[in-house]
């Protein structure tokens, strides 16, 4: 057998976003992987220092479409910490609802793409159709399918009344039933199991070493979830189960995501049940933000998202810096891809749910 | 095998897609679409301009008054302008039909002027903008809004002091 070096990406049919892997192969087997980044760098950290604090809520929302609620949420939390703004309780619950709605949609998207990469197109379509229900929920509650604009500095920009809660619960019930069917399929279908069991294994030790976060870490048995370890919004008042699996393969990561999507539905129900009355923002006008610096973190669908914001005398922040979960997780790809078959590269890359637009901003 | 049940059900149910543009597309009530501007409600506070993330909203002074300008093609539909507008003079409709021929791109804008007027009390040249309702208790009546529109900043302050309201 001979050795070759083959490129995968940056534009590749099986990759959702541009990422370039230079793969050394020995026959059919991957011997070494070089990951090259930088194809979708847009200079957003610089742009953030050129816009005022309020405009940045929208800018951070547009870093990435799948975690488009987590970015402004972490950013708002950092600004609120600087200004000492106390978010009203109702707003905290509404933030948690927005977070979980996005989580369901994001996880279902990734699991659907897995079916697509396996070649199970009808399952891909089916899961995307279930996700479409969540998209309808987002459009109905927040006014947009992806950039839901739920957060603002000091609270939330949306509210739900009895009629909307009724609609939300009706949709959740439908999605919940559909998910039970889908989870059983992913658990037992031969095509799925054959392509995902024992593929792209990341051991517990390696997962710790790479500092992986989110479903990637939890599928390798690391019990780490920001919603539990450092609760924000209303999560300290909610019962958040952490799903872990021991094997760390592609299948485990998909199953953790499916379980989290199911849990998210339950969390939304808890929020709706306990939703207190009151205002949705701390101030009706734009609050004044003093100079200062702060760090905030939240659990994005892909894992821990950390924001650092420094504000000076100007209305524009001096520095906004964030560390996204994919940055930690894509390092683990080197280990997952070792000794993998060429045909499995796309499935393994997808299994970390890479968000290149977040990571390269 | 489990999938055959889903497959058969989906087959019987028929397509999930809609026939747009040959049939109407479902649009939720809250959809954040095309910006609508109500000149009569504008206080000229320029909060929308300051928060507009895309820089779609601009104010400039013209000989006739303060001009509000908003470019639909620059708008990112974030809704911050609506959220921070004290009088909700700027709102978002559920209209998302924004496709247009390139020839019409310069028409995809709102251009309205808050005209200059002379203060009905002191005769000073001033903007005929709506008064800012934030913190005004009890809220302005429609008549009061029209009265304030004809007052300069100083006379508005005086009128507010006489009204006994904290603003």
Interatomic CA distance for residues A137 and B31, integer angstroms: 11
The pLDDT score that the predictor gives to residue B77 is 92
CB spacing of B134 vs A147 below 8 angstroms: no
The pLDDT score that the predictor gives to residue A31 is 85
Scanning B39-58 for CB atoms below 8 A from A yields 47, 50-54
Tell me how many domains chain B contains.
Answer: 1
Domain A41-336: which topology? Cytochrome-c3 Hydrogenase; chain B (1.10.645)
CB spacing of B51 vs A52 below 8 angstroms: yes
The boundaries of the domain holding residue B56 are: 30-163
The pLDDT score that the predictor gives to residue B166 is 55
Q: Indicate which CATH number applies to the domain containing B95.
A: 3.30.70
Query: Any residues with CB less than 8 A from the CB of A194 and at least 6 apart, and which?
Result: none
Nearest Cα to Cα of residue A75 among A177, A154, A17: A154
CB spacing of A58 vs B31 below 8 angstroms: no
| Averaged pLDDT for residues A52-81 | 92
Q: For a pLDDT cut of 90, what percent of chain A falls above it? A: 58
CB spacing of A58 vs B78 below 8 angstroms: yes
DSSP symbols for B26-68: P--TT---SEEE-GGG-----HHHHH-TT--EEEEE-SSEEEE
Q: Pick from B47, B79, B80: which is nearest to A143 by CB?
A: B79
The predicted model scores a pTM of: 0.89
The pLDDT score that the predictor gives to residue B127 is 86
Q: Looking at beta carbons, which residues of chain A come within 8 Å of B134?
A: 284-285
> For B52-105, what is each residue's pLDDT tens digit?
988 999 999 999 889 999 999 999 999 999 999 998 999 999 998 889 999 998
Interface residue A186 vs chain B (CB under 8 A): no
Interatomic CA distance for residues B14 and B73, integer angstroms: 37
The pLDDT score that the predictor gives to residue A293 is 93
CA torsion sign, A346 to A347 to A352 to A353?
A: positive
pLDDT, mean over chain A: 90
Beta bridge partners of A300: A303
Mutate which: B50, B56, B80, vs A, most A CBs within 10 A: B80
The pLDDT score that the predictor gives to residue B9 is 86
Beta bridge partners of A356: none
The pLDDT score that the predictor gives to residue B131 is 84
Tell me the nearest-neighbour CA distance from B64 into chain A, angstroms: 30
CB spacing of B6 vs A126 below 8 angstroms: yes
> For A151-179, what is each residue's pLDDT tens digit?
999 999 999 988 999 999 999 999 999 99
Q: Tell me the domain boundaries of chain A.
A: 41-336
Find out whether B43 and B86 touch, Cβ atoms under 8 Å.
yes
- For tokens 């909700």, what's the residue? B88
In this structure, is residue B89 part of a structural domain? yes
pLDDT band at B167 (very low <50, low <70, confident <90, very high): very low
More confident site: B157 or A47: A47
DSSP 8-state class, residue A158: -
Residue A126's SS3 state is: helix
- Cβ-in-10-Å burial (0-12, 13-18, 19+) of A308 comes to middle
Q: Looking at beta carbons, which residues of chain B come within 8 Å of A157?
A: 79, 83
| Averaged pLDDT for residues A249-271 | 93
Taking 80 as the threshold, does the pLDDT of residue A13 lie above it? no
In this structure, is residue B136 part of a structural domain? yes
Taking CB atoms within 8 Å and a gap of at least 24, the contacts of A20-23 are: A21/A337, A21/A345, A21/A349, A23/A337, A23/A342, A23/A345
- Residue A209, preceding bond cis, omega within 30 degrees? no
In this structure, is residue B71 part of a structural domain? yes
Q: Lowest mean pLDDT of A12-16, A185-189, A240-244, B81-85, name the range.
A: A12-16
pLDDT, mean over chain B: 87
Interface residue A136 vs chain B (CB under 8 A): yes
Find out whether A3 and A13 touch, Cβ atoms under 8 Å.
no
Task: Compare all CA atoms of chain A with the CA of B29 and give the residue at the minimum distance.
Answer: A140
The pLDDT score that the predictor gives to residue A342 is 86
pLDDT band at A345 (very low <50, low <70, confident <90, very high): confident
Interatomic CA distance for residues B126 and B163, integer angstroms: 21
User: How many distinct helices (H) and strands (E) make up chain B?
Assistant: 5, 6
């Amino acid at each position: 057998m001979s050795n070759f070096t083959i490129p995968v990406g940056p534009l590749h049919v099986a990759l959702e976003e541009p990422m370039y892997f230079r793969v050394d192969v020995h026959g059919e087997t991957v011997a070494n992987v070089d990951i090259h980044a930088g194809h979708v760098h847009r200079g957003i950290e610089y742009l953030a220092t050129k816009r005022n604090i309020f405009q940045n809520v929208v800018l951070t929302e547009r870093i990435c479409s799948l975690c488009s609620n987590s970015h402004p949420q972490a950013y708002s939390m950092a600004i609120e910490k600087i200004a000492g703004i106390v978010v009203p309780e109702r707003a905290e619950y509404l933030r948690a609802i927005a977070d979980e709605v996005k989580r369901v949609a994001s996880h279902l998207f990734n699991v659907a793409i897995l079916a697509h990469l396996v070649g199970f197109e009808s399952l891909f379509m089916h899961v995307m159709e279930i996700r479409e229900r969540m998209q309808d929920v987002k459009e109905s509650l927040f006014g947009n399918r992806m950039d839901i604009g739920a957060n603002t500095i000091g609270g939330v920009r949306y509210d739900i009344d009895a009629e909307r809660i009724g609609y939300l619960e009706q949709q959740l019930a439908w999605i919940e039933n559909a998910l039970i069917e889908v989870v059983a399929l992913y658990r037992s279908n031969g095509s799925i199991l054959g392509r995902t069991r024992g593929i792209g294994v990341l051991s517990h030790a390696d997962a710790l070493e790479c500092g992986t976060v989110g479903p990637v870490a939890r599928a390798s048995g690391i019990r780490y979830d920001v919603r539990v370890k450092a609760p924000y919004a209303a999560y300290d008042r909610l019962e958040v189960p952490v799903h872990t699996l021991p094997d760390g393969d592609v299948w485990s990561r998909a199953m953790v995501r499916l379980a989290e999507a199911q849990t998210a539905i339950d969390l939304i129900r808890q929020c709706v049940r306990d939703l207190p009355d009151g205002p949705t923002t701390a101030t009706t006008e734009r609050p004044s933000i003093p100079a200062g610096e702060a760090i905030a973190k939240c659990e994005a669908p892909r894992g821990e998202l950390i924001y650092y914001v420094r504000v000076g005398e100007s209305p524009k922040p001096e520095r906004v810096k964030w560390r996204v979960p994919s940055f930690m997780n894509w390092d683990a790809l080197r280990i997952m891809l070792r000794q993998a078959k060429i045909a499995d590269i796309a499935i393994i890359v997808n299994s970390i749910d890479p968000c290149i637009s977040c990571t390269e901003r | 095998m489990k999938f055959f049940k889903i497959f058969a059900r989906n087959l019987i149910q028929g397509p999930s897609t809609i026939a747009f543009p040959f049939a109407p597309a479902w649009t939720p009530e809250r959809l954040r679409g095309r910006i609508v501007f109500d000149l009569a409600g504008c206080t000229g506070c320029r909060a929308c301009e300051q928060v507009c993330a895309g820089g779609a909203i601009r104010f400039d002074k013209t000989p006739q008054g303060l001009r509000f300008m908003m470019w639909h093609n620059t708008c990112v539909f974030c809704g911050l302008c609506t959220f921070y507008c004290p009088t909700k003079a700027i709102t978002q409709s559920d209209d998302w039909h924004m496709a247009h021929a390139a020839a019409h791109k310069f028409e995809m804008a709102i251009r309205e002027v808050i005209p200059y007027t002379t203060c009905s009390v002191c005769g000073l040249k001033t903007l005929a903008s709506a008064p800012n309702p934030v913190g005004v208790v009890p809220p302005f009546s429609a008549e009061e809004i029209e009265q304030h529109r004809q007052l300069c900043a100083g006379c508005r302050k005086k009128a507010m002091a006489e009204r006994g309201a904290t603003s």
